[in-house]
Structure 1
Amino acid sequence: MLLHGTDALTAAARESTAIPGFVAYNLETVQAVVAAAETSGRPVLLQAGSSAFKHAGREALMALALDTARRSTARIGVHLDHSRDLAEIAACIDAGYTSVMIDGSHLPFAQNVALTRTAVAMAHEAGVWAEAELGALAGDEDVSTGATAAGGSMTDPDQAAEFTAATGIDALAVAVGNVHGFTAEPVRLDLDRLAAIRDAVPVPLVLHGASGLPEEQLLGALRRGVAKVNVNAELRRAYLTAVESALPSALPGSDTVATWAAARDAVTAAALRITERLATAARPV
């Protein structure tokens, strides 16, 4: 049952909860995210995006994500994460994705605005909502490198207001000290900056790089307008840890099915834990 529109996102912002955006790379991770959504009864976003396409192939992963979500009884949006390619965005919209993210954060401000405005127009014409990013996160989307927030650039609240008004986006991904992947030291978000951004823009905020974020930092973000939280590294770690544990008994008989099943179950458990964590209402600040 595909989750269309921004009602769930705006409801999460109003309630100081958040919808998880779970990155999926293959059959097992897609199935795991959907299973977690069915168990929790909460809306989730299944993010089959640009980096995952490099592994699985765009057409194959798009079809897998959409078909699995449509067959589910859960409320699941299928989201294109971190795309820099308008042709890729068009292909995902045509395939049936319910939301897309255009990432022009690497560009100068005016070019980011122009690229984002074009992507938003494409999305809205098809009834799809659009996310964009202002500011830059340190780290790698697909590999934890021990990065620190110092490698990125923070989102400016006044510029965020200008960007949102100029582009018509439905959600804004921000850089407030968050980092892609796990870090050597605990991440400390600039919660005052986050609150200022919330007060400056009329759309829900998105926090990328939430894996391993301390509890008080996560709750602080939910209290300050974050209504979508992207999770990737925690799921990758759950998957690989399960594979590592399963291998000693699986290798003698080359039991790949048991290994894949263990990985899928571990990702389901991690996604369910995160979904329930984000569903806990936090008093707004």
Structure 2
Amino acid sequence: MTAHVDGHALRRARAERRAVIGFNIYNLEQGIGVVRAAERERVPVLLQAGSSAFRYAGRAPLARLALALAAETSAPVGVHLDHATDVDEIRACLDLGYGSVMYDGSALALDDNIATTRAVVAAAHARGAWVEGELAGIAGDEDESTGAGAGALTEPAAAARFVAETGVDALAVAIGNVHGIPAAPVALDLGRLARIADAVDVPLVLHGASGLPEDEVRAAIGLGVAKLNVNTELRRALRASLLATAAAPPPGDAVEGWLGPVVEATCAAATAKLRAFAHAPAEVAP
């Protein structure tokens, strides 16, 4: 049975000022690399086999692949549905065995977002899964890596109402972060993050952690962020690995010779993120 990373894992991470990292995966090699990193570091991770990746690999094949990887490892690996906007897709993934889902209703009016998110929470909790919600949309395309600038920001008062009326277990915040690598450097609005953290009683989620300086990410973790999403570094590791192998091809045509380095590159990229953010700091500030 798949060992879910439950909502308690996020709450523990928040209390210990570290983060659970959700890694978006699109194929087997990325999944194996992330699981190996989790085994190496012995910290919880989430395999995010999400809506956008389904367009590439298909929902059921990719979902079952991620669930199988999580079930076969001794590491605490959960499977999370990232950025779902279709409630039927959420129900299908819950039926398959996902331990957590994100409903992204950020394009809706607040009242509509609350109503639909509340229904998702009821369906997920009935299956023992937890839910991540979102208010202000986070700019950028999660499947691309460049060209995004910060968009609308999360309002603390709206966040408080949203969490109270939906019962979500985690809240994705927009505080200047963008998906992918931003077109120009962005600075997180840490003051806004602190106000949001004071207004809600659930762990916070930072999407677009790929293009941010480590000190800013650590500051965000200290203010209540307990989950980070990482995608771009894994895709870039895959691309760089394939280009390097193509430049110096292995003898013969064994698949392992071409795709084994992708696993290694993914593992290295994931390990670096886990070492930076997934372990409790040596000294926790009062």
Partner of 2:17: 16
Partner Cα separation in structure 2 for residue 281 and residue 252 of structure 1: 44
The within-5 A match list for 1:35-184 is 35-149=36-150, 152-184=151-183
1:103–1:133 Cα contact (<8 Å) kept = yes
Partner of 2:200: 201
1:37–1:74 Cα contact (<8 Å) kept = yes
User: Per-residue displacement from partner, 1:213-254 (whole Å, max 9, x unpaired)?
Assistant: 101110110011000000000111111111111112228845
Partner Cα separation in structure 1 for residue 188 and residue 254 of structure 2: 43
Partner Cα separation in structure 1 for residue 141 and residue 115 of structure 2: 25
Deviation at 1:106, TM superposition (A): 1.1
Paired residue type of 1:215:
E
Partner of 1:186: 185
Partner Cα separation in structure 1 for residue 285 and residue 119 of structure 2: 34
Q: Cα 1:264–1:158, aligned 2, differ >3 Å: closer, same or farther?
A: same
Partner of 2:29: 28
Partner of 1:217: 216
Paired residue type of 1:270:
A
Partner Cα separation in structure 1 for residue 164 and residue 285 of structure 2: 24
Deviates more, 1:107-116 or 1:153-162: 107-116
User: Per-residue displacement from partner, 1:245-277 (whole Å, max 9, x unpaired)?
Assistant: 111222884554322111111010010110111
Partner Cα separation in structure 2 for residue 134 and residue 98 of structure 1: 22
Deviates more, 1:169-178 or 1:236-245: 236-245
1:2–1:76 Cα contact (<8 Å) kept = yes
Per the normalisation by structure 2, the TM-score is 0.95
Deviation at 1:146, TM superposition (A): 2.0
Q: Cα 1:253–1:4, aligned 2, differ >3 Å: closer, same or farther?
A: closer
Deviates more, 1:51-60 or 1:251-260: 251-260
1:79–1:98 Cα contact (<8 Å) kept = yes
User: Per-residue displacement from partner, 1:40-88 (whole Å, max 9, x unpaired)?
Assistant: 1000011001011111111101111101110100001100000011111
Partner Cα separation in structure 2 for residue 261 and residue 187 of structure 1: 35
Partner Cα separation in structure 2 for residue 53 and residue 169 of structure 1: 24
Secondary structure of 1:211's match?
helix
Partner Cα separation in structure 1 for residue 247 and residue 6 of structure 2: 46
The within-5 A match list for 1:254-273 is 254=253, 256-273=255-272
Deviation at 1:132, TM superposition (A): 0.6
1:176–1:190 Cα contact (<8 Å) kept = yes
2:5–2:46 Cα contact (<8 Å) kept = no
Deviates more, 1:199-208 or 1:131-140: 131-140
Q: Does 1:278 align with 2:277?
A: yes
Paired residue type of 1:167:
T
Partner of 2:6: 5
Partner Cα separation in structure 1 for residue 40 and residue 172 of structure 2: 28
Partner Cα separation in structure 1 for residue 64 and residue 87 of structure 2: 19
Structure 2, unpaired ranges of 5+ = none
Paired residue type of 2:102:
M
Secondary structure of 2:229's match?
strand
Secondary structure of 2:259's match?
helix
Paired residue type of 2:144:
V
Partner Cα separation in structure 1 for residue 280 and residue 74 of structure 2: 24
Deviates more, 1:201-210 or 1:185-194: 185-194
Deviates more, 1:243-252 or 1:11-20: 243-252
2:21–2:229 Cα contact (<8 Å) kept = yes
Q: Cα 1:225–1:261, aligned 2, differ >3 Å: closer, same or farther?
A: same
2:43–2:279 Cα contact (<8 Å) kept = no
Partner Cα separation in structure 2 for residue 184 and residue 55 of structure 1: 25
2:44–2:77 Cα contact (<8 Å) kept = yes
